[in-house]
Amino acid sequence: MWAMRRVLLLNASYEALGIISMPRAVRLVWKKSAEVVELDGSAILRSPTFSLPAPSVVRLKDYIDVRARQRRSASKRQAVLMRDKFRCQYCGVKGTSFELTLDHIIPRSRGGTTEPENLCASCFTCNQRKGDRTPDEARMPLISHPSALYYGLEKAALRGAAETRPEWRKYLFLPELEINVA
């Protein structure tokens, strides 16, 4: 299923921002917000109105300063809650700052950071239910994707994904595969 295929999104600076869905990548290219820098083999996406070589890596034409967006916040907790409109990002329930907690989207035990891009508002029930799992593992997708959050959240997953997508590796600055020379 092409809709399920993932695409690596690069900043204008070629810095990897995250993994996005094929439909989203196609929309970015269609709007001329991004350009294709690597193709997904020789696959062609076809719809009744267009055909397009399937992208594997796309690059934004305008630079997004993810860090500057994060710096603007005075209090991280308050800023994250405000960004998420005081709404649990898993079930959508609204709450006050006493009724909501911050969830690490990628759990800390799995390499997730405490940066705002890896935090979201969560009710206590969802926070408990998700536990030590990623949203994918818990089958608890985020309901909205503020851009800094969206672009950052899957960084921790890039490494794993790159193992099956060799054409991504050069953009992730990954060390060469370790070869044990005994």
Judged by beta carbon, residue 88 or residue 149, the one nearer Zn ion is 88
Which positions from 121 through 180 interact with Zn ion, judged by CB under 5 A? 123, 126
Q: Interacting stretch for Zn ion, rule CB under 5 A, among 86-94, 109-117, 134-142, 169-177? A: 86-94
Choose between 120 and 123: whose C-beta lies nearer to Zn ion.
Answer: 123
**Residues present in the chain in total:** 182
Considering the complex, what minimum distance in angstroms separates the CB of residue 140 from Zn ion? 9
Query: What are residue 47's phi and psi, to 5 degrees?
Result: -135, 175
Which residues are CB-neighbours of 2 under 8 A, at least 6 positions away?
A: 22, 43, 45, 54
Q: Which of 12, 44, 91, 143 binds Zn ion (CB under 5 A)?
A: 91
Position 12 contacts Zn ion (CB under 5 A): no
Closest-CA residue to 17 (of 26, 7, 28): 7
Least separation in angstroms between residue 106's CB and Zn ion is 18
Whole-number Å distance between alpha carbons of 42 and 163: 19
Spell out the alpha helix ranges (H) of 101-146.
Answer: 124-130, 135-138
Is-contact 127 103, C-beta < 8 A? yes
Smallest separation, CB 81 to Zn ion (Å)? 13
Least separation, in Å, of the C-beta of 124 and Zn ion? 8
Query: Which residue in the set 22, 88, 158, 162 belongs to the binding site for Zn ion (CB under 5 A)?
Result: 88
Nearest CB to Zn ion, comparing residues 40 and 103:
103
- Environment class of 176 (CB within 10 Å of its CB; exposed 0-12, middle 13-18, buried 19+): exposed
Stretch that binds Zn ion, among 33-41, 87-95, 138-146, 168-176 (CB under 5 A): 87-95
- The conformation of residue 12, written as its DSSP 8-state character, comes to T
List residues near Zn ion by CB under 5 A.
88, 90-91, 123, 126
